[in-house]
Structure 1
């Protein structure tokens, strides 16, 4: 089957990584696969390497007005006789869905990666879902449950959670003098770094040495630094912008912290689980399905600094619990999020 995947860029986000993994997996399963993007300037090397290894073509759309892009993409899809198009995120869902419909593509799949959509995105997704798409694929059950049967047709909503491309063996860390908390995400409002810093301050006020490693990129970097100064914890914060050694940073840490206001299936939490980190997170998206409260971490109410900080304290003060929770997290990831089951689910979707 000729399959195309359309996404704005192949940058370092979770959607981009899952797009690359799906393209490579479908190619390996015998499909003729190509990836279409708008902007090559933000491409992440690791995602491009996944495509190159699988011999998946990467094509860039011209930088033209949206309606011209729709016309170009429609001709492109017709020229390559694409049978199925997978779109990722709102703009590709809308413009890609329209272009595919004009081109006569038989199977058109929208892709929603969150449990919450702001107004304009929701409008475009609704139009795409009802007028263009064969199905809308959610990466989280919480997203499907929020919209199916209300704004979206239940029978056209499908859930395929994210996968992990590989599994690390369980890790039992050495007891170190400094307890390190780590967060890996974009520096945007959705991730609620002010709550993360306030929660870490609850831990920092206890006896012992503690450090908060913040990894990512985005427009709020300077704001995060200012908040850390205002809270009096700047000396305990280390910010890494797009570092090449994220695996090493995860291995050096003791606890993973996520304070998002909304999520889908969190790639960053899955990566933390892969490195056997106990997780403290907010109860958003599918976090409660990823993290088993009291088994592999703690799931806390949104913006609840006392609860989040208390969970950090509990883990920081008990190495045996950190080890047990971390190994359980690794076990749950292996059980529920393999690449093989991920590709199989998409192949079943194509066949049906």
Structure 2
């Protein structure tokens, strides 16, 4: 069988999108595919740069002008660069990740009559519950036009994301395929211990989407009742200094730790007792999948992406966004019930191994690439 040539186009190379792309690059069967990556540099983290060093069989083309913000001059430069590269490479498949790459990549690929154009949004911008009506209208219509005329298949990373797309009339069901994010299976010993310190952890960027102050305020309320709680929020971002100042000004630094970005989050998950997320919206967050792999109960906001990872009273609990009282009550219930914590821990791991492994994710991507 002749190898297919795939070009991945990605502007953002940090967090979950970076992990998703690296998993594809490291695990796709290279006896079936020739792989090239066209990528931005502004949001590229050290994990990406370190991991691609030894990928000798994959070609990488950085484009410095490709960035998240709308900039007519830089966007035109990026468009010309992507166009020329695709014209040179002549791919069978172009797979675009996230909004900016999705616009540039799909438009240029269509102009060059690429047979298969795939798009993974990793969470639509218009899933943001606080987006204003004008932006919602503009971005929804851009996604609709591109989905209908410039896209062969859209890979949604959760059923909730797919249903959102269909409800907004962005995508027809026949053009969509749900492929869950996955990670390598982790062999963990029994999670529950009877330590007096109860460790809660979050792993996310400190930015608008991840809504970090909500998690901080949940912990702030809980420590009045449970002085044995210790909380670690791993990540950096535009809100980092604001959150640090809040923690220091409210004398919470003995309880709440903000170590910044870590390329080894497993060291924090391994020692934790519970995972907390207060995101405003998600695609299908890797951090929660990793928490499940480390047998953690999870308490998180009831938003798209979370609801397919956490089942109420099975492997954790969901709370309505901004309802801190419910979140606090759910965490209190887990702390006060060691047997419930232990059961949720076991269920998290089972839910992960049944649905969110890297082998399943790669197999489904390869099947899609070969069928279109």
TM over 0.5: yes
Gaps of 5+ in 2: 66-72
Q: Structure 1 residues 159, 314: CA separation in 2 closer, same or farther (over 3 Å shift)?
A: same
* 2:351 is equivalent to residue 332 of structure 1: yes
The 5 Å alignment of 1:73-92 reads: 73-92=82-101
SS in 1 for 2:13: coil
Which stretch shows the higher mean deviation, 84-93 or 208-217? 208-217
Which stretch shows the higher mean deviation, 177-186 or 198-207? 198-207
2:289 paired residue number:
270
Q: How many correspondences in the alignment?
A: 351
The 5 Å alignment of 1:41-60 reads: 42-45=44-47, 48-49=50-51, 52-53=54-55, 55-60=57-62
1:138 paired residue number:
156
C-alpha separation between the residues in 2 aligned to 1:36 and 1:182? 34
8 Å CA contact retained: 1:143, 1:285: yes
2:39 paired residue number:
37
SS in 2 for 1:24: helix
C-alpha separation between the residues in 2 aligned to 1:128 and 1:313? 46
Gaps of 5+ in 1: none
1:122 to 129, 140, 145: 140
The 5 Å alignment of 1:181-330 reads: 181-229=200-248, 233-330=252-349
* CA shift for structure 1 position 24: 2.6
SS in 2 for 1:70: helix
Q: Structure 1 residues 108, 194: CA separation in 2 closer, same or farther (over 3 Å shift)?
A: same
C-alpha separation between the residues in 2 aligned to 1:317 and 1:101? 57
The two structures have a TM-score, normalised by structure 1, of 0.92
* CA shift for structure 1 position 161: 1.6
8 Å CA contact retained: 1:183, 1:214: yes
SS in 2 for 1:7: strand
C-alpha separation between the residues in 2 aligned to 1:219 and 1:271? 24
* CA shift for structure 1 position 28: 3.9
Deviations 1:157-187 (A, max 9, x none): 2221211133333542432221111111000
C-alpha separation between the residues in 1 aligned to 2:243 and 2:328? 18
The two structures have a TM-score, normalised by structure 2, of 0.87
Deviations 1:19-50 (A, max 9, x none): 11122332445211111102177333357526
Q: Structure 1 residues 325, 28: CA separation in 2 closer, same or farther (over 3 Å shift)?
A: farther
Deviations 1:186-237 (A, max 9, x none): 0012222222122112321114411110110101112212333565534311
